[in-house]
A and B are shown apart, each in its own frame.
Chain A
Amino acid sequence: MKKKSTPELIVHEKLTLQLYVSGMSPKSMEAIENIKRLCDEHLKEAFELEIIDIYKNPEVASQQQIVFSPSLIKSLPLPKKTLVGNFSDSEKVIKGLGIAFKK
């Protein structure tokens, strides 16, 4: 079991994240930048990020019925969370993923 990674966040287990993007769309490119920064700054080693391009792999929709881009899905630990947008607000993203800040 992974212990907390940064002074700021309480993370008990490694996060498994999928970021869905659509090729060269401006929001996709922003989302990638923002999520990477968020993970590097707050999650350090406690995450696994997979970036999937729905243009290159449209069949991901078959598993989820509909996949928006850009969207971030936390598949582990449960419960599963889905966030949509370009993720410019780190705090909102962290809260949306259900991670608490250490007080």
Chain B
Amino acid sequence: MAAKSTEELLLKIEELENSLAESEQLIEAIKAGEVDAFAVNSNDKAEVYTLQSGDYAYRVLIEKFGEGALNLTEDGLIVYTNTYFYELLNLAYENVVGSFFTDFIDEGSKKTFTNLFQKSLKGSSKGEINLYVNEKIIPVYISLTSLQPKLATVGVIITDLSEKKKNEEIILKYQQDLELKNLELLQSNNELASFTYIASHDLQEPLRKIQTFSNRILDKEDGNFPANISDYFQRIISASERMQNLIVGLLNYSRTNTAEVIYTPTSLNSIIDEVKTNLSELLEEHQVSMEISALPVLNIVPLQFNQLFSNIILNAIKYKKQNTKPVIKITAVMADAAELQTNNTAACNYWKIKISDNGIGFEQQYADKIFELFQRLHGRNEYEGTGLGLAICRKIVQNHHGFIKAEGKPDVGATFIIYLPSL
């Protein structure tokens, strides 16, 4: 046997010292309780042993968690329940453990549960069922997992769906209310359409008769009447003309609601050109000058926009300053997000179209009133009109998901600002 050299021995000693130090540290740690568990290889099989402290967190998690946790045997017997579950059922612990889970399931859900449970015995399953305890139905979502082969049980996690179901019911009710309102609206629209038809024929017919025969009387007998009788007939005729205008105006207003509308991308400049052509005689007569900037292309109903611009331009002419040539300016810019306040719910860009004139203007305090039906700021003797023009304008702008507002300065002029969503 060869003697080992000193060097080799010293090396060996160092090795042993290290090993010893490690073992000592290990024993110290175990004595100090710093070990939770260990895995040992015995007979080629790995076993894990847990010391007392190692389980603590699992216990706390399952016992205290805000979800139900159960262990069921293969026959569905509850052999473990955590606090949350029996509190969810509003029962005492001893009334839950040792009972069959199916005792707490609503009749209508029993079949679903049987399927879920059978499925879980081979792996896992999840689904919604209703529990039924003390005449109360509790909707829950359950997740089942077989814990074989480690444990001869099926683990179940239970989530309470009551809050969610309540919200679903509220949404359903809103939906139903909405559908009802839609139906009512449809009916309303249909009735309005009928009214429109009636108005256009049945109301105007008697009016025409009044006008026709009043005119005939005047034509035939004019020379024979005393002055005041002629006057009375004149008044009858102009009153019926006014009424006719009103009916036509109302028809227009209601048509902006009910007519079949087709939106197509249209250049606003082309609409203005059309309006200028339609009103060319009027524009020439009053020597109106129009300054039109480049206007955008928007998704609109061309006929309605023709009416919109016509009404505003007609107003500008009607309310011109005496002995002043009307100047109408139309411009368009992208609207600043800050200008669009509370009414803007859509997340898109808006165009800001301004139509301003140099007419008699109006007091800013009436800026909202002028858009109302039949509102007029001047007497019939000063300016004629039905008081519908701007109401129609507002309706048209609303139909296109936009806003219209007015700014006026007495004796300076009026500006109409129309916001419209861009393409």
**Which residues of chain A have a CB within 8 Å of any CB of chain B?**
20, 22-29, 54-55, 58-62, 64-71, 79, 81-86, 96
Contacts and interface: CB of A to CB of B under 8 A. Distances in A.
9 A-B pairs closest in CB distance: A61-B39, A22-B37, A25-B54, A58-B46, A25-B36, A85-B34, A84-B29, A24-B57, A54-B39
B56 A69 contact: no
A27 B32 CA distance: 12
Given A27-B53, A79-B18, A85-B32, 7 more contacts: A26-B57, A58-B39, A65-B40, A66-B41, A67-B39, A70-B34, A84-B25
Contacts of A25: 36-37, 50, 53-57
B58 interface: yes
Given A27-B34, A61-B46, A85 B29 contact: yes
Nearest to B57: A24
A60 to B, nearest CB: 6
Size band of the B side of the interface?
20 to 34
A29 B57 contact: yes
Nearest to A87: B34
Interface string B4-29: 00000000000000100010011001
A47 to B, nearest CB: 20
A101 B46 CA distance: 38
**Which applies to chain A's interface (DSSP): helix, strand, loop or mixed?**
mixed
A24 B57 CA distance: 6
Nearest to B27: A84
Contacts of B37: 22, 25, 54-55, 68-69
Nearest to A59: B46
Contact of B36 (A28, A61, A96): A28
A58 B317 CA distance: 94
B152 interface: no
B25 A96 contact: yes
Interface string B153-193: 00000000000000000000000000000000000000000
Contacts of B35: 27, 68-71, 84-85
A87 to B, nearest CB: 9
A62 B34 contact: no
A6 B55 CA distance: 38
B302 to A, nearest CB: 69
Contacts of A55: 37, 48
Nearest to A55: B48
Contact of B38 (A24, A59, A67, A79): A67
Nearest to B56: A26
A91 B243 CA distance: 101
A25 B39 CA distance: 14
B26 A84 contact: yes
Contacts of A61: 39-41, 46-48
Contact of B39 (A24, A60, A79, A82): A60
21 contacts: A25-B36, A25-B50, A27-B35, A28-B54, A29-B57, A60-B46, A61-B47, A64-B41, A65-B40, A66-B39, A66-B41, A68-B29, A69-B35, A71-B35, A79-B18, A82-B26, A83-B25, A84-B26, A84-B30, A84-B34, A86-B34
A13 B284 CA distance: 96
Interface in B326-348: none
B51 to A, nearest CB: 9
Nearest to A27: B36
A26 B54 CA distance: 7
A69 B38 CA distance: 6
A66 B61 contact: no
B44 interface: yes
B85 to A, nearest CB: 21
B22 A81 contact: yes
B28 to A, nearest CB: 8
Contacts of A67: 38-39
Q: Which of A25, A60, A65, A83 has the most CB of B within 10 A?
A: A25
A86 B54 CA distance: 13
A22 B50 contact: yes
Contacts of B26: 68, 82, 84
A63 to B, nearest CB: 8
A28 B38 CA distance: 12
Nearest to A96: B25
Contacts of A60: 39, 46
A25 B57 CA distance: 6
B41 A62 contact: yes
B216 to A, nearest CB: 104
A66 B26 CA distance: 12
A74 to B, nearest CB: 11
Q: Which of A55, A59, A61 has the most CB of B within 10 A?
A: A61
Contacts of A24: 57-58, 61
A70 B57 CA distance: 15
A18 B25 CA distance: 18
